[in-house]
Amino acid sequence: MTFDYRAFYRGRKVLITGGLGFIGSNLARRLVALDADVLLVDSLIDDYGGNLFNIDGIADRLHVNVADIRQQTTMNYLVRDRAVIFNLAGQVSHIDSMRDPYTDLEINCRSQLTVLEACRNHNPGVKVVFAGTRQVYGRPDSLPVDESQLVRPTDVNGINKAAGEYYHLVYNNVFGIRACSLRLTNVYGPRQLIKHNRQGFIGWFIRLAIENRPIQIYGDGSQLRDFVYVDDAADAFLRAGADDRCNGEVFNVGGNEAISHRDLATLLVKTAGSGRVEYVEWPADKKAIDIGSFYADSTKFKRTTGWAPGVSLGDGLRDTVAFYRAHFSQYVGPAAERA
């Protein structure tokens, strides 16, 4: 069933943790356009996706608090008057979670309790939408993957994100903090980190194409993925935040079509008119946590909220390449290092 959530957000006090990051800042843009009262909380940790340029053009229409969600007293204060929290702050790199598991544990697992305890003690009427991930499934038993498949992560990040998600469900079921989780697949689009290659491959591929460098595909590139344009991901968060039928539930939020790494890279090179595809052996550390082919069945979320991805991969890649061509120095080089 479809419903119009736009009126719901007008004047409503919302908080986005991780709001200076890729998905958070695109969501903030949508909320500002809907005249919501928007507060972003982000620690701007080096090497993560937070970037002040991400709110270029809307900075005077929202509030930013540079703070760490690991800080209980800070979060107690910041959640107080908010009606909806989009809880997106996270350590996103799978490979970093294997090199430094404790930081991943602190941010993706323990600090989720910090946010939820702040809500329980200072704002129990709030609604929380958590940014979950398809990584919790690990290697799927069959494709496409729906929510009935086992949670069986292949890496530390997947374990901690699963724990963070389950805390939200428990706080919903036991303490009545209305919460749900969106298990996102591969999100792409403007404002994604591209200064290093440890946060998902698509942003990195886009950078390589723009710089006319070889795009390295591991193995034969036949593994499948589905991609969600960031505006469609933001739309999913907005629907979940406004719809109490989502409470206590997990939902896959994936793209309309599955595509192989090989075909994705070929499409990207064609779209950008630069770059080239190159095949290399799998690096051992990446092979060890690879999940093989994955694409999601998002029927449950579509049925519940009426959501449907609206942007095709071709159009999304074209717009993303154009965005980075226009703003490359904000995402790579000295300005990006300062961000």
Closer to ligand NAD by CB, 91 or 320: give it: 91
Please give the residue ranges that form the binding site for ligand NAD (CB under 6 A). 17-18, 20-24, 41-45, 48-50, 68-70, 88-92, 107, 111, 131, 133, 161, 184, 186-187, 193, 200
At its nearest, how many Å lie between ligand NAD and the CB of residue 273? 25
- Cβ atoms of 275 and 268 within 8 Å: the answer is yes
Closer to ligand NAD by CB, 35 or 290: give it: 290
Dist CA 289 CA 304 (whole Å): 32
Closer to ligand NAD by CB, 267 or 274: give it: 267
At its nearest, how many Å lie between ligand NAD and the CB of residue 7? 26
| Helix (H) or strand (E) segment spanning residue 26 | helix 22-33
Closer to ligand NAD by CB, 214 or 300: give it: 300
Please give the structure tokens belonging to residue 49: 């996706």
Please give the structure tokens belonging to residue 56: 């270029």
**Helices vs. strands in the chain: H and E counts, helices first:** 14, 12
Please give the structure tokens belonging to residue 270: 């064609």
Residue type, 2: T
- Cβ atoms of 307 and 256 within 8 Å: the answer is no
Closer to ligand NAD by CB, 68 or 117: give it: 68
Closer to ligand NAD by CB, 200 or 316: give it: 200
At its nearest, how many Å lie between ligand NAD and the CB of residue 24? 6
At its nearest, how many Å lie between ligand NAD and the CB of residue 331? 11
DSSP-assigned letter for residue 91: -
- Cβ atoms of 37 and 29 within 8 Å: the answer is no
At its nearest, how many Å lie between ligand NAD and the CB of residue 39? 13
At its nearest, how many Å lie between ligand NAD and the CB of residue 295? 14
- Cβ atoms of 94 and 201 within 8 Å: the answer is no
Closest residue by Cα to residue 186 from 268, 294, 41, 332: 294
SS3 146: coil
Closer to ligand NAD by CB, 103 or 274: give it: 103
At its nearest, how many Å lie between ligand NAD and the CB of residue 201? 10
Residue type, 297: D
Sheet holding 224-229, edge to edge: 186-188, 224-229, 258-260
